[in-house]
Structures are given as structure tokens and as C-alpha cells.
């Protein structure tokens, strides 16, 4: 494993551009994806549990992730949703490892097609390449049979988003459902009303730790997911009151999010607090 460097101070390993952290049988590999227009970037992560890869990062991460995937002996892949920063490594995996990639059945056609993505996204994540996926089963067992994950429909961030729940370990892999306890922007095609229902459904499960593709290992995960739900419900109430008072959604956005939002310009409005307000 010559490609690994050990950082003794924080007990983390660095593989080329990847930062790798392990807790028990769960390995998190992450990198920061950025562009000239978005130099601060966004942390993008993927998890490996007993040979199961959960999300495959961005296309930019595929080449530096190749040795990591091989060393981790991944034997199957689950993609929580077909966004550029979660499915970017799938084509590399398909071409080099020949292992099954599972995806929500309603996203399979899109995954196998050439789709024109926004320029800003291509610059941040790399260009998402078509790949062949199999329909997501209701349960997925890991290579040794030690862990069994229930796959749960969880729309809102994406209409075909799934979460993975390991009941015995009280683990919840949330894809992009969590991200943080607050939201300040979202994509144009997100639906916050759907997300509220999904969060309520997730909170009915018995779990401790949340595994988030961008926030990483989230301790006290149930409490933090509850805080996000509470934040959005409170925001929904404020929006409802302001609408009843005669304000339109653009004015409400300016009222509730009165700050400069550089992501909006970079993404040409694809990322915006307005997208939260109009769908909540």
C-alpha cells in the first residue's frame, strides 16, 4: 500500500487527493471538488462497508480513487442518487472492475444516456459519463454477510433518492438528505415539501449515526436530523405567514436570506435560496 501516507497527528490516511478515515468497518474517502469560479469547493465523500461502496464520488475523483477501490476490494456499488458528485466514478468502475452498480430503477435510463449537464457542474465535478446500472434491490447484504442494508425511497433532494439503513448497527446512510442542520440553498429540481416528509419518515427509524456524503460521520445523527426537520418546519411556517401577508416568493427569499449568495452566480441560479422558498 505504497500509495498511502499516514498522518500520525490526526490518524488519517491520505491517498493522493483522497483523505481516508476509518471507524470500525466503515471507511470514508473524501476529496474537495472545486473550480476557478468556485475555489473554496465542496467536500465529496463515499463510504465502503465490507466491500460495499456507497456512492462513487465525482468524475474528477475516479482516477485517484481507483487504487483505493481495488485495495478496499469493493464487490458491489450502491448509488444513492444520480447526481454528478455521487455517480461520477461509476463509469470507471464499470470499465475497470466489472462489478454490479445498483441505482433507483427510475434513474437507470438517465444513467445510461448522454445528458448535457450545466457548465458550472462539469467544472466542479467533472463530466458525468453514462454507465450501466441495475435496479436497486430492497435489501443489500455485504460481501461477508455481516451487514444487511434496507434501501429506502427518500425523495426530496432528488426524486429518485434512496437511503440505506442497517437496522442492527443503527446506521443510516443518508446520501444528501442531511448535509447540515440548516439549509441556505438547494437545486432547482429539489422539492422541500417532499424532503420534509422524507425526514419525518427517516426519524421513525431507530438509528444513532448518520453517514453523510458531504458531512461525513455524523454522531448523534438522529438528533441532528431532527434539528434539520425543525429548522425546515419553522421556515415553512415563516414562509406561509409572509405569503398570507401578501409577499411573493422572491421578496420572501430576500427577507429570510438577506445575504450575498456567491453560489447563485456561479451556478446561474441552479443553486439558490429561492429554490427552497418556492418548494416549501
Task: List for the chain the helix, strand, coil content (%; round to 5).
Answer: 35, 30, 40
Give tens-digit pLDDT for 1-33: 223 333 333 334 434 479 999 999 999 999 999
Q: Which residue has the higher pLDDT, 46 or 118?
A: 46
Q: What is the mean pLDDT of residues 175-190?
A: 95
What pLDDT, on a 0 to 100 scale, did the predictor assign at position 244? 95
Is 267 within the bounds of a domain? no
User: Phi and psi of 163, rounded to 5°?
Assistant: -115, 160
User: Phi and psi of 44, rounded to 5°?
Assistant: -125, 125
Q: What is the CATH classification number for the domain harbouring 93? A: 3.60.15.10
Give tens-digit pLDDT for 137-171: 999 999 999 999 999 999 999 999 999 999 999 99
Instruction: Kindly give the residue spans of alpha helices, DSSP state H, lying in the chain.
Output: 62-71, 84-87, 90-96, 108-111, 119-125, 192-202, 221-244, 249-256, 262-266, 273-279
What pLDDT, on a 0 to 100 scale, did the predictor assign at position 31? 95
Q: Contact, 225 vs 199, CB < 8 A?
A: yes
Is 39 within the bounds of a domain? yes
Cα separations in angstroms, 244 against 114, 226, 237, 248, 278? 44, 27, 11, 10, 14
Domain hosting 76: range is 4-146
How many domains in the chain?
A: 1
Quote the DSSP letter at residue 208: S
Pick from 63-67, 74-78, 175-179: least confident = 63-67
Is 74 within the bounds of a domain? yes
Is 26 within the bounds of a domain? yes
Is 274 within the bounds of a domain? no
Burial class of residue 57 (count of CB atoms within 10 Å of its CB; 0-12, 13-18, 19+): buried
Q: Which residue has the higher pLDDT, 278 or 116?
A: 278
Q: Which residue has the higher pLDDT, 127 or 8?
A: 127
Pick from 124-128, 224-228, 232-236: least confident = 124-128
Give tens-digit pLDDT for 204-231: 999 999 999 999 999 999 999 999 999 9
Q: What is the mean pLDDT of residues 43-56?
A: 98
Is 269 within the bounds of a domain? no
Give yes or no for residue 266 having a pLDDT over 70. Answer: yes
What pLDDT, on a 0 to 100 scale, did the predictor assign at position 264? 73
Give the pLDDT band of residue 267 (cuts 50, 70, 90): confident
Is 105 within the bounds of a domain? yes
Q: What is the mean pLDDT of residues 93-99?
A: 97
What pLDDT, on a 0 to 100 scale, did the predictor assign at position 243? 98
Across the chain, what does the average pLDDT equal?
Answer: 92
What pLDDT, on a 0 to 100 scale, did the predictor assign at position 173? 99
Strand partners, 27: 22, 48
Q: Which residue has the higher pLDDT, 78 or 10?
A: 78
Is 20 within the bounds of a domain? yes
Give yes or no for residue 108 having a pLDDT over 50. Answer: yes
Amino acid at each position: 500500500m505504497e500509495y498511502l501516507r499516514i498522518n500520525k497527528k490526526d490518524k488519517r490516511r491520505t491517498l493522493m487527493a483522497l483523505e481516508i478515515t476509518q471507524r470500525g468497518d466503515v471507511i470514508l474517502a473524501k476529496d474537495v471538488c472545486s473550480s476557478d469560479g468556485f475555489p473554496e469547493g465542496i467536500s465529496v465523500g463515499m463510504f465502503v462497508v465490507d466491500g460495499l461502496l456507497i456512492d462513487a464520488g465525482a468524475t474528477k475523483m475516479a482516477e485517484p480513487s481507483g487504487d483505493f477501490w481495488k485495495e478496499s476490494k469493493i464487490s458491489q456499488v450502491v448509488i444513492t442518487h444520480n447526481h454528478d458528485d455521487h455517480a461520477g466514478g461509476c463509469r470507471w468502475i464499470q470499465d475497470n472492475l466489472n462489478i454490479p452498480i445498483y441505482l433507483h430503477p427510475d434513474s437507470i435510463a438517465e444513467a445510461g444516456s448522454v445528458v448535457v449537464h450545466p457548465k458550472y457542474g462539469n467544472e466542479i465535478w467533472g463530466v458525468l459519463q453514462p454507465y450501466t446500472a441495475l435496479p436497486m434491490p430492497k435489501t443489500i447484504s455485504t460481501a461477508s454477510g455481516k451487514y444487511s442494508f434496507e434501501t429506502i425511497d427518500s425523495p426530496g433532494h432528488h426524486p429518485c433518492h434512496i437511503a440505506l439503513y442497517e437496522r442492527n448497527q443503527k446506521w443510516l446512510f443518508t446520501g444528501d438528505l442531511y448535509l447540515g442542520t440548516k439549509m441556505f440553498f438547494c437545486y432547482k429540481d429539489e422539492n422541500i415539501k417532499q424532503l420534509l416528509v422524507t425526514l419525518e419518515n427517516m426519524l421513525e427509524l431507530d438509528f444513532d449515526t448518520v453517514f453523510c456524503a458531504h458531512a461525513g460521520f455524523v454522531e448523534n445523527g438522529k438528533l441532528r436530523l431532527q434539528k434539520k426537520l425543525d429548522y425546515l418546519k419553522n421556515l415553512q411556517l415563516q414562509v406561509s405567514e409572509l405569503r398570507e401577508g401578501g409577499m411573493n416568493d422572491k421578496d420572501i427569499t430576500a427577507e429570510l436570506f438577506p445575504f450575498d449568495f456567491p453560489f447563485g452566480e456561479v451556478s446561474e441560479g441552479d443553486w439558490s435560496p429561492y429554490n427552497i422558498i418556492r418548494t416549501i
